[in-house]
Amino acid sequence: MLTNMRVIAHERLGDDVNIRRLVLEGEAAAEAQPGQFLHIRAADALDPLLRRPLSIAAIDRSQRRLTVLYRIKGRGTQVLAAVPVGGMLDVLGPLGRGFQVPSTGELILAAGGIGVFPLLALAAAAAERQVKTTLFWGGEDRAFFDNAGLRLWRDLGTPLSLATMDGSLGRKGLVTELLGLWWQERTAAKEPVFMAACGPAGMLKAVSLWAQTKAVSLEVSLEERMACGLGACLGCACQGRDSEGRLKNLKVCTDGPVFKAEEVEWDAG
Amino acid sequence: MPVDLRVSLAGIDFRNPVLTASGTYGFGKEYAPYCPLAELGGIVVKGITPEPRAGNPVPRLAETPAGMLNAIGLENPGLEAFIAHELPRLKALPTAVIANISGFSVEDYRFMARSLQRDSGLAALEVNISCPNVKQGGMAFGTDPAAAEAVIAAVRAETDLPVIAKLSPNVTDIVLLAKAVQRGGADAISLINTLLGMSVDIENQRPALANTFGGLSGPAIRPLAVRMVWQVAQAVELPLIGMGGITVWQDAVEFLLAGASMVSVGTANFMNPQAPLDIRRGIEAYCERKGIAAVSELTGRALRGKG
Ligand SMILES: Cc1cc2nc3c(=O)[nH]c(=O)nc-3n(C[C@H](O)[C@H](O)[C@H](O)COP(=O)(O)OP(=O)(O)OC[C@H]3O[C@@H](n4cnc5c(N)ncnc54)[C@H](O)[C@@H]3O)c2cc1C
Ligand SMILES: Cc1cc2nc3c(=O)[nH]c(=O)nc-3n(C[C@H](O)[C@H](O)[C@H](O)COP(=O)(O)O)c2cc1C
């Protein structure tokens, strides 16, 4: 839907001035699903011209609120960051295909950097269904986690397994290494495992290959530059395979942003 | 008295003068939840080619000040799939549907025109001549008057549908091209397509688009488009469909006054999926305010008294 949403909160998420939390109130909250995104006009202006896609990080239907967590990257997010509490934002969405929320088994989340943001909404939905959820999260250093919402995960009570590049928190290394260790220590598999991942393309590919060898069902959330967000402009193409294994283009905006890992062709680019 | 918004162009009766531009509106269905298609003058669907095309690698888009570059690479399902899967639904839409055809040889255009006739349910064919003529060293048909004329003549000879020639702005003298497509037998001219542009990502020190070059569209190109409409309106007899950066109704009125009979809304759909609707309403209110009974009276009004 195309609506105006009121800015209820807009602040730093942690100490990093560049990572923000934006809470919006409006009708769009009623339909939102974890993994979907909002296509936001940062300003009613010709520059920045296009909308900016940002994932839904939290859904509060009773209060009609959606939370978006974002990193200020360039002009669009800079202009967005200046929108004050009480202001209105022109929002198209929720858009796209979200995550499947499991109602049985165990949910494993794998995040690289700020790719963790959309997984927060999924974890909350899984918690409502009492599905056991664990987050495997890789980031630069200790400070990053505090700035990127570690507190929100603690509030949710999700068990965490963290990795940093410099070893300042959790294990030194990559998320895929955490996953490997966890799998080894896992006692006799009984529950089906559902996995969801979001992060840089390289990490998603690695997690995808890993999940394939373990026969674990995995969904990944992808990013690509997009204009319309509705499947019309064909800007946000990624490569996939159809049911017969032939290469085909997928649209991140409407076929995704969440895909089954086996739909995505990682090496075609 | 209500304003008469109807426009008759190339023998087609349009409900109002607002179309959507090819490649920005998919096959219509993408926008249907946001913009009642029956309220539009018509839609021009994504450019099709004889064979399916996967398009260019990503990034395909880059934003620029008040504009954007695109290098989609004409991703489309191909003529056969278009006819089998899109046309039946398009035909049933409560608005005029114009197909947009692109090719890499005169034969490509001829082949597509042959398969798209009046009985297809389409209102017209828009011929995108901004594509490279692969058999003639890759120069775009739309930059060479003789090639442009040949393509339009080939299409004209094969279809009983009205033919709209869509001009490329990447030329020194747009009037030469307009005259060429008129000679080729076009029933109308649409202009402008995107301007060839480029941008460099200064962080990774590479071209921003995987394809290096892309087509510039959006508000940034509007003054150039208005100038070209103005020039062409005075040089040919054919009715014009003006486009290039139309974002709000004021922009549309500018094109009509400069000589266009209809307008097409492109990039603006990306910011506002209801832009064509807002623009149609704005044109209507403008006519009311100015005491103009029919929107067709706006066409070329700014030319009055010009020699
Ligand atoms: C489905 C989806 C969900 C996203 N969710 C989040 C989120 O929850 N939090 C967050 O911080 N970021 C998210 N992003 C990335 C975010 O959209 C970009 O960081 C943002 O658009 C950058 O805009 P800018 O003007 O600040 O930067 P610029 O680099 O100046 O942007 C220039 C252009 O490139 C596009 N662009 C730049 N980076 C990206 C990117 N990574 N992905 C897509 N388009 C890009 C912009 O939209 C704009 O059109 C998401 C992207 C997608 C596709
Ligand atoms: C993403 C995109 C795809 C386009 N694809 C086509 C196409 O397939 N065929 C065509 O004739 N023009 C195509 N165009 C050009 C538009 O129809 C229009 O001529 C141009 O964008 C200028 O109008 P605007 O500034 O309102 O967008 C495309 C433009 C964009 C932005």
- From the CA of B22, how far away is ligand 2's center (Å)? 5
A259 lines ligand 1 (CB under 6 A): no
pLDDT at A20: 98
Residue type, A185: E
- Tell me how close the Cα of B56 comes to any Cα of chain A, in angstroms: 9
Query: Is there a domain that residue A101 lies in?
Result: no
- State the number of CA atoms in the 13 A half-sphere of A71 facing the CB: 12
Q: How many A from CA of B33 to the centre of ligand 1?
A: 25
Chain A residue closest in CA terms to B56: A237
Can you list the residues of chain B whose pLDDT is less than 70?
305-307
Sequence-separated (6 or more) residues with CB below 8 Å from residue A109: A116, A119, A122, A123, A133, A134, A135, A136, A137, A158, A195, A196, A197
The residue whose C-alpha atom lies closest to atom 4 belonging to ligand 1 is A54
Residue contact B274–A2, C-beta within 8 A = yes
- Ligand 2 atom with the smallest distance to the CA of B128 is 11
Q: Same structural domain for residues A12 and A78? A: yes
User: Does residue A141 lie within any of the structural domains?
Assistant: yes
**Residue A212 and residue A230 in one domain:** no
Model pLDDT, residue A64: 98
Q: Which two tokens stand for residue A120?
A: 């927060």
* Superfamily of domain B7-55+74-196+217-298, CATH level 4: Aldolase class I (3.20.20.70)
Region A32-61: what's the mean pLDDT? 97
Residue A38 in contact with ligand 1 by CB distance below 6 A: no
* Same-domain check for residues A89 and A157: no
E strands, chain B, in order: 7-9, 12-14, 18-20, 42-44, 61-64, 67-70, 96-102, 124-128, 163-166, 188-191, 195-198, 200-201, 206-207, 213-217, 240-242, 262-265
Query: Pick from A183, A198, A217: which residue ends a domain?
Result: A217
pLDDT of res. B306: 62
Total residue count of chain B as it appears in this document: 307
Residue A100 lies in a domain: no
Q: What integer pLDDT is reported at residue A186 of this predicted model? A: 81
CATH of the domain at A79: 2.40.30.10
Q: What is the pLDDT of residue B73?
A: 95
Best substitution site from B19, B24, B63, B213 to test ligand 2's pocket, by max atoms within 8 Å of Cβ? B24
Cα A147 to ligand 1 centroid, rounded to whole Å:
19
Of the candidates A95, A121, A140, which is a domain's last residue?
A: A95
Give the residue among A136, A223, A118 at the shortest CA–CA distance from A173. Answer: A136
Strands B262-265 and B18-20: parallel
Which ligand has the nearest atom to the CA of A237? 1
A228 to chain B: which residues are within 8 Å by CB? Answer: 24, 26, 30, 269-270, 273
Catalytic residue numbers of B, as ranges: 131
The pLDDT value recorded for residue A268 is 65
The whole-chain average pLDDT of chain A stands at 95
In which residue are the tokens 């409900």 written? B15
Query: Tokens 């159809």 — which residue?
Result: A242
Asked whether residue A51 is assigned to any structural domain, the reply reads: yes
Mutate to test the pocket of ligand 2, among B194, B241, B264 (most ligand atoms within 8 A of CB): B194
Query: What Rg do the C-alpha atoms of chain A give, in angstroms?
Result: 18
pLDDT tens digits, A101-147: 999 999 999 999 999 999 999 999 999 999 999 999 999 999 999 99
Instruction: Verify that A18 and A90 share a domain, yes or no.
Output: yes
- Chain B residues closer than 8 Å to A238 by CB: 58
What DSSP assignment string belongs to A20-33?
Answer: EEEEEESGGGGT--
Q: How far is CA A102 from CA A123, A161, A196, A219, B185, in A?
A: 10, 21, 11, 12, 61
CA distance A54 to A66: 11
Chain A contact for B216, CB < 8 A? no
Both A156 and A205 in a single domain?
yes
Q: By CA distance, what is B26's nearest residue in A?
A: A232
How confident is residue A246, by pLDDT bands cut at 50, 70 and 90?
Answer: confident
Q: How far is A168 from chain B (nearest CA, A)?
A: 28
Instruction: Select from A75, A95, A115 the last residue of a domain.
Output: A95
Say which residues have a Cβ less than 8 Å from residue B227's Cβ, sequence separation at least 6: none
- Which range marks the domain in which residue A91 is found? 2-95
pTM above 0.95?
yes
Q: Do B72 and A233 touch (CB under 8 A)?
A: yes
Domain CATH number, residue A184: 3.40.50.80
Instruction: Supply the pLDDT for residue B305.
Output: 66
Specify whether A117 is located in the same domain as A18. no
Residues A125, A155 share a domain: yes
Q: Are A209 and A137 in a shared domain?
A: yes
This complex has an ipTM of 0.95
Using CA atoms, how far apart are residues B49 and B45, in angstroms rounded to an integer? 12
Domain count for chain A: 3
Record: contact A247-B67, CB cut-off 8 A: no
